[in-house]
Chains A and B, each alone.
Chain A
Amino acid sequence: MNALSVHAPVLLVATPLLAAFVVPLVAKLGSTVRNAVVGVFTLLTASLAGLVAANVLAGSGAPSVYVFGASPLNLTLPSGMHVPIRILFEVDGMSAFMILITALVAVAATLYSFSYFKEHSGGEMYYPLLFLLLAAIFGMEETGDLFNFFVFLEIAGIAACGLIGFRPWRGRSQEAAFKTMALYTLSGLFVLIALGLLYGQHGGLNIAYLSSRVGAEMLDLVALGLLVVALGMKAGVAPMHMWALDAYGEAPAPISAVLVASSQASLYGLFRVLFTLFGAAVSVAALGWFLIALSVLTLFVGVTMALLQKDIKRLIAYGAVSQIGYMLLGVGVGFTTSGSRPAYGFVAMQGGIFHMVNDAACIGLLFLAAGAVHRASGTRDLNRMGGLGHDMKWTAALFAIGALALAGVPPFNGFSSKLLIYESSFAASPILAAIAILSSILLLAVFMKVFQAAFLGPRLLENVREASRGMLVSMLMLAVVVVVFGLFPGFFVDKLVTPAAKALWLGRDAYVRAVLGG
């Protein structure tokens, strides 16, 4: 048991990776065996994620290091070396928080896929790609090494695009997959150039080591710029959000939910770069205002364009883009006010980070519900739907929960994190709070329109059946998270969000010390 707990960080990446290669083999034995194996591996991965997170949170979010091939496993600098040369994982409160989000979405998406893909063939290709994507996301969240991060970023990109274009009989999905892959490649190469610059300057790729060495020199700042652009692009921040709409809109429904977690992993990378890697090197206030500008643009684009959509999944995709704006707003305000009003800054950070899990749960729920609607009605065009609520009572109720949470209506979880963002961004500038609240109101209007168009009114479509039980259970799982996080926000903020926010906000020194000692 102890060995398991010690090796949990690496097993968390190795288990889905193994699953990705085992599943195609057992798929030869039929879909029941395959689904059983997929289910076992998913549960195993999720429990490992829980174990890793529990270990870190038991130490109140202090970073724990896992050095590959070292003995003891936290030996970062063997025999008088000054540069950590081994590959290592470094898991702190923020990583643990992200790992839990990914595990939650992974379990819901896999369970949903079992019934979603019942009629389709191709499961022996679908689940391996899904497991590869999960392994890569966990890797991105755990690694303490920039090149490792790049490799996991690329694996995530390739697996995600394989899944977006998973249904080749739909031309539009291929279009979306091509666009997304081209952008992912570009952003990956930007990251690689930045790595080259940092390596050339400082002779190492370990995040903690680089963090102790980078300064405000020209080449370091170029590297920072490239990293911000590349990771912002992969996270779907406006004005580089176009791929996200196509990808979320055209991917199979459970994959859209996992893609949200994947984008959040890129966002995590962005935060890691800003707070940990360059935390001591650059002017905090200027960067904070830059993030705030991006977030306002993202909010604006996401919400206004959502008003115009007729395709239900593309509309939710715009909603997902706008939520990235809230996270950036929280963290940007935290950045700006960290010097002048640290109390408000910390609340803003908590809000931005808490919103990540809330977004994953309620956007995931909406994508899954939209998938059920698409499956039942055969269309995604809102103008051709109507009255689905007569036959799909459960789906309608679950969609309503997700939509209200997204729009920040109490008592659902979106409200609790948005409230933290409203009250703290007010301290930075009242205009920001007004924009954030206005966006929420517009989102409410958008999703009321969708709910009315799809579920209310007279029956327009014949032979509509309720979503299958597996789909309902996975949606219910996310809905429970939405409601529980909304009813007891204090508990979760204390136990999960505060360690994560502290690890980012104040944890740079601890992060560096864990590797370099001293």
Chain B
Amino acid sequence: MGNFPFVVAMLLVILGLYTLLFKRNLIKLVIGASLIETGVNLFLVALGYRTAGIAPIYTYAPPALADRMVLPTPQALTLTSIVIGLATTALLLSFAVVIHRHYGTLDVREVKELKG
């Protein structure tokens, strides 16, 4: 049970990689990137979690519970990573919109002026 979140996180990353590598639709590529990012975020949060943990706030925590606090750093990392993920997803989607406007398609096989 303890490793279950990590297994799920790796599954998400692998699914995302599969989508990114083998799908032909630009929107699906963005979904793939987003899946990987979700997997990584889950990995980070799971890394800092403790069973029956409490929030890492020292001020009101009973001293007896101090060793049951979850790790705060991975949560801070995850927050930052979510913000960055939002920016990259938005940027990727806006490029996809402009590409669709130019070529009339989202199929990568038809958007390939750059080759060689």
A binds B: yes
Using a CB–CB cutoff of 8 Å, the interface residues on chain A facing chain B are 147, 151, 154, 157-158, 161-162, 165, 168, 171-172, 174-179, 181-182, 184-186, 188-189, 192-193, 195-196, 199-200, 205, 245-246, 249-250, 305, 308-309
Contact call A188/B73, Cβ cutoff below 8 A: no
Within the complex, which residue of B26, B33, B77, B96 is in contact with A195, where a contact is CB–CB below 8 Å?
B77
How far is A185 from B36 in the complex, measured between Cα atoms in Å?
A: 9
Majority SS at the chain B contact face? helix
Contact call B33/A177, Cβ cutoff below 8 A: no
What's the nearest-Cβ distance from chain A to residue B53, in Å? Answer: 16
Contact call A151/B80, Cβ cutoff below 8 A: yes
Across the two chains, which residue of chain A brings its CB closest to B30?
A182
Contact call A171/B113, Cβ cutoff below 8 A: yes
How far is A176 from B98 in the complex, measured between Cα atoms in Å?
A: 12
With A151-B84, A175-B113 as given contacts, are A196 and B74 in contact (CB-CB < 8 Å)?
Answer: yes
Which B69-116 residues have C-beta < 8 A from chain A?
Answer: 73-74, 77, 80-81, 84, 87-88, 91-92, 95-96, 98-99, 102-103, 111-114, 116
What's the nearest-Cβ distance from chain B to residue A397, in Å? Answer: 30
For the A-B complex, the count of residue pairs with Cβ-Cβ distances under 8 Å equals: 94
Show 5 residue pairs from A and B whose CB-CB distance is below 8 angstroms, ordered by the A residue. Answer: A165-B98, A171-B99, A175-B112, A178-B96, A199-B77
A residues within 8 A CB of B26? 178
B residues within 8 A CB of A305? 116
With A174-B102, A192-B44 as given contacts, are A158 and B91 in contact (CB-CB < 8 Å)?
Answer: yes
| B15-52 interface code vs A (CB 8 A; 1 in, 0 out) | 00000100000100100010011001001100100000
Known contacts A175-B99, A309-B116; can you find 19 more A-B pairs with CB under 8 A?
Answer: A154-B88, A174-B102, A175-B111, A175-B113, A178-B92, A178-B95, A178-B96, A181-B92, A184-B88, A189-B13, A189-B33, A193-B13, A193-B40, A195-B77, A199-B77, A245-B114, A246-B114, A249-B114, A308-B116
Q: How many residues of B are counted as interface, with CB atoms below 8 angstroms from the partner's CB atoms?
A: 32
Contact call A181/B88, Cβ cutoff below 8 A: yes
B residues within 8 A CB of A179? 114
Within the complex, which residue of A165, A196, A246 is in contact with B47, where a contact is CB–CB below 8 Å?
A196
Contact call A185/B37, Cβ cutoff below 8 A: yes
B residues within 8 A CB of A147? 77, 80
Contact call B114/A176, Cβ cutoff below 8 A: yes
How far is A177 from B74 in the complex, measured between Cα atoms in Å?
A: 31
How far is A185 from B92 in the complex, measured between Cα atoms in Å?
A: 10
What's the nearest-Cβ distance from chain A to residue B84, in Å? Answer: 5
B residues within 8 A CB of A158? 84, 87-88, 91
Across the two chains, which residue of chain B brings its CB closest to A157?
B88
A residues within 8 A CB of B84? 151, 154, 158, 188
Contact call A165/B95, Cβ cutoff below 8 A: yes
Q: Which of A165, A250, A305, A308 has the most CB of B within 10 A?
A: A165
Within the complex, which residue of B47, B87, B92, B112 is in contact with A199, where a contact is CB–CB below 8 Å?
B47
Across the two chains, which residue of chain A brings its CB closest to B87?
A158
What's the nearest-Cβ distance from chain B to residue A252, in Å? Answer: 16
Contact call B33/A182, Cβ cutoff below 8 A: yes
What's the nearest-Cβ distance from chain B to residue A127, in Å? Answer: 18
Contact call A182/B113, Cβ cutoff below 8 A: no
How far is A174 from B82 in the complex, measured between Cα atoms in Å?
A: 24
